[in-house]
Structure 1
Amino acid sequence: MTVEPDTQTQEHGMQIGFIGLGNMGGPMAANLVAAGYSVTGYDPVPAAADKGAAAGIRMAASADEAVSGAGVVITMLPTGTHVLNVLSGDGDTLGLLAAASPDALFLECSTISVDDATTAHALMLETGHRGLDAPVSGGVVGAEAGTLTFMVGGAGEDFAAALPLLEVMGGRVVHCGGPGAGQAAKICNNMILGVSMIAVSEAFVLGEELGLTHQALFDVASAASGQCWALTTNCPVPGPVPASPANRDYRPGFAAALMAKDLGLAADALDSTGVRAELGRRAGEIFRELTDSGSGGEDFSAVINTIRAATASDGSDGNISNSASMNSTDSNSNTAGQPAGQSGAV
């Protein structure tokens, strides 16, 4: 279904093609429309397309059609294979590089490998376009609020041209270096995040075994040297941080399956560089195990439930049921169950 754009979307006189209107791309494109940009979008999932149309995005019947006449093309897709295929076409389609206007500026916002990002950038230049890799951090909440952090790789003049758009969708925009540097920063950032969430979760389970309430541990660690984003923003237990996914049955947020994917990209980069990173690799294994267990659609902070389950199966001296009962006397109680969540796919 094609929807004509509202008159306000013509304010900036720039046509944007947006490919991938899922949990992240949809809100990002909607924020551009709200800021007065003309956005034509495409997503093969009917629900995503319908939601995009409701947000004022003109919906096209194909990716090629969405970027026809566009001076800026934004992609937000699941994997590097998806990105390279949609850029070059698959035999039945022209591909975005052929369908877009000459000298279009491509903003590739998916999280993919550094190798795929540099390959995509080379293809953009070979076909007469400009390109940036610009992955994001901040999750669905950040996409909806327009407070994402963009990590950008590419030429300085292209970064300057894209900056007004990126500032609509994000609260912080960092030029990290040349092609692929944005993806490199994203992979490193998420390796830190994955490791720190496991550490925070292990600490809370240990605190339960030692008789600490969730609130007491939070009050100490959040104001001490244990302070980190995984604790103060995405706390893995309900109560101390009301906005954290733990308070809504671990609905993402940032899905565990996506963390497993990103840590897989980090492992590939570790292999290619020869860097020894034992915690990063082990974190990837833990999140893959969480995903394989059927909890990949839950927020990545649900890893705490895996730690509790492993503690119980090990037959530790601490009594989980007793400590859980202790915690149930305040508003910060949690259980060892693994509640179902929503898909966190982009």
Structure 2
Amino acid sequence: VVISMLPAGQHVEAVYLGDNGLLKNLPSTTLVIDSSTIAPETAKGVAEAAVAAGITFMDAPVSGGVGGAKAGTLTFICGGEADAFERAKPILEGMGKNIFHAGPHGSGQVAKICNNMLLAILMSGTSEALALGVKNGLDPAVLSEIMKQSSGGNWALNVYNPWPGVMDGVPASRDYEGGFLVNLMNKDLGLAFDNAVKNQAPIPMGSLARNLFALHANEGNGGLDFSSIQKFYYREQG
């Protein structure tokens, strides 16, 4: 079994399809699980090359971040043949809590970019609401609790609060260090945008989130956790 998790599609192609790529050197009994987040078309291309080489391939991007990786509670979103999924599932259960079979090759990537586009939208909206409340004199911790128990509750607010000091153990409370970088979120939002153009799918909220995170990165925040988008809405916090 070979498991890889690389930054972008070009890295996956280089590792597996390069002049001395793994597909030319692995035995046909190998199960390849690629947990990178890349374009569905790239995953399909690598899968086709693997099948031609007699190697079983599955795209299996993850959700859950650094915390989920440390705790072994990641979500794996798998694309590939059903028999490959059944073979991979016991292996992935050693690292994750939720293991999904989204469909054929590339399906894991489609599901992942949809999830991360929604996550970016939720984090942007949560940060915007918190900033508005604070500018009106509200305590961000109190406002967070109110929204958590109301219809505004969502993962970004409930589990990954972007306001510094409101929640322990999240990047916002350690100067936005660690976690899921703005640069990586930008990459994923770009994948979602490109896929939407190809499939003529309207994504007005996703496009806006992409622009917001791109601007945030261009202001020197690309190496911070993506919850640092809070700084875009409330710059006075230093």
Question: Is the TM value for this pair above 0.5?
Answer: yes
CA distance in 2, matches of 1:258, 1:95: 25
User: Would you say 1:89 and 2:18 are equivalent positions?
Assistant: yes
Deviation of 1:73 after TM superposition, in Å, equals 1.1
Q: Which residue of 1 aligns with 2:204?
A: 278
Instruction: Quote the Cα distance in structure 1 between the aligned partners of 2:183 and 2:216.
Output: 8
Q: Which runs of 5+ in 1 are unaligned?
A: 1-71, 310-334, 338-346
Tell me which of 188, 192, 197 is aligned to 1:262.
Answer: 188
How big is each residue's C-alpha offset from its partner over 1:181-226, in whole Å with a ceiling of 9 and x where there is no partner? 1000000000100000000000011001111101211111111111
TM-score, normalising length: structure 1? 0.67
| Conserved? CA contact 1:201–1:307, under 8 Å | yes
Q: Identity, % of aligned pairs?
A: 43
Q: Which letter maps to 1:88?
A: L
Distance in 1 (alpha carbons) for counterparts of 2:43 and 2:219: 30
Partner SS for 2:100: strand
Determine helix, strand or coil for the equivalent of 2:133.
helix
2:229 equivalent to 1:336 = no
Higher RCO by CA contacts (8 Å cutoff, separation 6 or greater): 2
Encode CA deviations 1:43-77: one digit per residue, 9 max, x unaligned.
xxxxxxxxxxxxxxxxxxxxxxxxxxxxx111111
Find the partner of 1:298 among 224, 228, 235. Answer: 224
Partner AA of 1:83 in structure 2: V
**CA RMSD, Structure 1 to Structure 2 (Å):** 1.0
Matches within 5 A, 1:127-206: 127-206=53-132
Alpha carbons 1:252, 1:300 under 8 Å: kept: no
- Equivalences, count: 238
| SS of equivalent residue, structure 1 residue 106 | strand
Matches within 5 A, 1:2-21: none
| TM-score, normalization by structure 2 | 0.97
Distance in 2 of aligned mates of 1:253 and 1:146:
15
Deviation at 1:238, TM superposition (A): 2.5
- Larger of the two Rg values belongs to structure: 1
Q: Deviating runs (4+, > 4 A) in structure 1?
A: none
Residue 226 (structure 1) aligns with: 152
Alignment partners' CA distance in 1, 2:14 and 2:122? 34
CA distance, structure 2, for counterparts of residue 203 and residue 213 of structure 1: 12
Question: Which residue does 1:240 correspond to in 2?
Answer: 166
1:112 aligned counterpart, secondary structure = coil
In the aligned structure 1, how far is the partner of 2:231 from the partner of 2:166?
A: 17
More helix by proportion, 1 or 2?
A: 2
User: Residue 293 of structure 1: CA displacement?
Assistant: 1.4
